Amino acid sequence: MTPDNIRSKTLPWTINLGVAVAAFIVAAALVLGLGIGNWVLVIVVGTAFYLGGLFAAASRVEGRRSARNRLWQTLIYGACVLAILPLASVVWTLVSKGAARLDGDFFGSSMNNIGARDPNGGAYHAIIGTLEQVGIATLMAVPLGVLGAIYLVEYGRGKFALTVRFFVDVMTGIPSIVAGLFILAFWVLIVSPWFNNGTPRFSGFAASLALTVLMLPTIVRSTEEMLRLVPGPLREGAYALGVPQWKTIVKVVLPTALPGIVTGVMLAVARAAGETAPVLLVAGGAAAINFDPFAGNQSSLALFVYGQAGDASRYAPDRAWTAALTLVALVLILTIAAKLLARRNRLT
């Protein structure tokens, strides 16, 4: 037996390409010739013809078993392409339409005193609002979420832990407007008058509280799953050396699960940064710059995009696209920075 004798036959890539070209030519002739559809139907029909032709050609050359493997491999690659296409389309649309207002005026000015016929105006006030609101919400939600997940995994037993886990699951699916209404009814209408001479007051901090409500369940659930993935022998080894449980959690469990925890936190941050309804309900929105998150109306990038998208000015759509691109870029930068900070040292 020589390698040439035991090597199985493989379908040449030229035949694969030929089957694809022939399939789409036949599909175009059938669909466009009969006038039953457009290029979308040509792609669908051509893909079906290609899969059938590929299976037939591969069965003749490689055998039915290899042909089935090649068919499913093609389907998996096609599903991957279909999953990437919407993401690529969104990125391309944001970059192509959002580049129109990538200038210093957009990042250095607000919409204060900007009329419908004024091409200037920017999102500086919205960027400041987003950074402050999401930053404060993160400072409140991350410790609470991580500590809650530690309780559920390391200490929680019995009905109380099951109840906490159940309500966390329920909170994961609540609409953002419900969180905004809760903070509006509790903080803005009841608590804030105590600090403002009996008058309710909108603020960026109220928006941060609403975003905290939305971030908490995501952080708790993701952190809980990451902590459960930490191997049990790591804990047992620490306990065998006489290390207390709290120190085992701090020194062993949390560092091991840190990359996954950071991913969950950034998912929560991304969701909070893109919320519009809570900011509109409890922060009110503003055209001017407000650096104080505890007093006065404040805007955010998501709210800025919402307002500009519905504005009648001919210059508003460009501002909305650039603000959307800025929001995506901001979340991307924060995610990369968090990943770099949480990256663990590896043996070389």
Burial status of residue 64 (CB atoms within 10 A of its CB: 0-12, 13-18, 19 or more): exposed
Q: Give the highest mean pLDDT range of 78-82, 194-198, 217-221.
A: 217-221
How far apart CA 46 and CA 41 sit, in angstroms, is 8
Closest CA to 221 of 155, 160, 173: 173
Task: Write down the pLDDT at residue 36.
Answer: 84
Tokens of 280: 């509109």
DSSP per position, 92-138? HHHHHHHGGG-SHHHHH--STT--TT-----SHHHHHHHHHHHHHHH
Residue 346 has pLDDT above 50, yes or no: no
pLDDT at 137 over 90: yes
Q: Grade residue 217 by pLDDT with cuts at 50, 70 and 90.
A: very high
Per residue, the 3-state secondary structure of 52-103, as one string, reads: HHHHHHHHHHCCHHHHHHHHHHHHHHHHHHHHHHHHHHHHHHHHHHHHHHCC
Least confident of 22-26, 114-118, 238-242: 114-118
Q: Render pLDDT for 177-206 as a digit per residue (tens, 0 to 9).
A: 999 999 999 999 999 899 888 889 999 999
pLDDT of 114: 86
Tokens of 153: 């995994």
Assign 288 to helix, strand or coil: coil
Q: Residue 284, SS3?
A: strand
Question: For the segment 290-339, what is each residue's pLDDT rounded down to a tens digit?
Answer: 999 998 899 999 999 999 998 888 889 999 999 999 999 999 998 888 88
| 102-111 CB burial, b ≥16 within 10 A, e <16 | eeeebeebbb
* Pairwise CA distance, residues 183 & 210, whole Å: 6
Write down the pLDDT at residue 7.
Answer: 54
Higher-pLDDT residue of 152, 341:
152
The pLDDT assigned to 132 comes to: 94
In a 3-state reduction of DSSP, which class is residue 28?
helix
Phi-psi region at 63: left, alpha or beta (left = phi > 0; alpha = psi -120 to 50): left
Contact (Cβ atoms closer than 8 angstroms) between residue 207 and residue 285: no
In the structure, what pLDDT confidence band is assigned to residue 8 with cuts at 50, 70 and 90? Answer: low
Burial of 345 (0-12, 13-18, 19+ CB in 10 A): exposed
The mean pLDDT of 153-168, rounded to a whole number, is 89
State pLDDT tens for residues 240-271: 888 899 999 999 999 989 988 998 999 999 99
Percent of the chain with pLDDT over 70: 96
Whole-number CA gyration radius for the chain: 28
- What CA–CA distance (Å, rounded) separates 178 from 190? 17
pLDDT higher than threshold 50 for residue 6: no
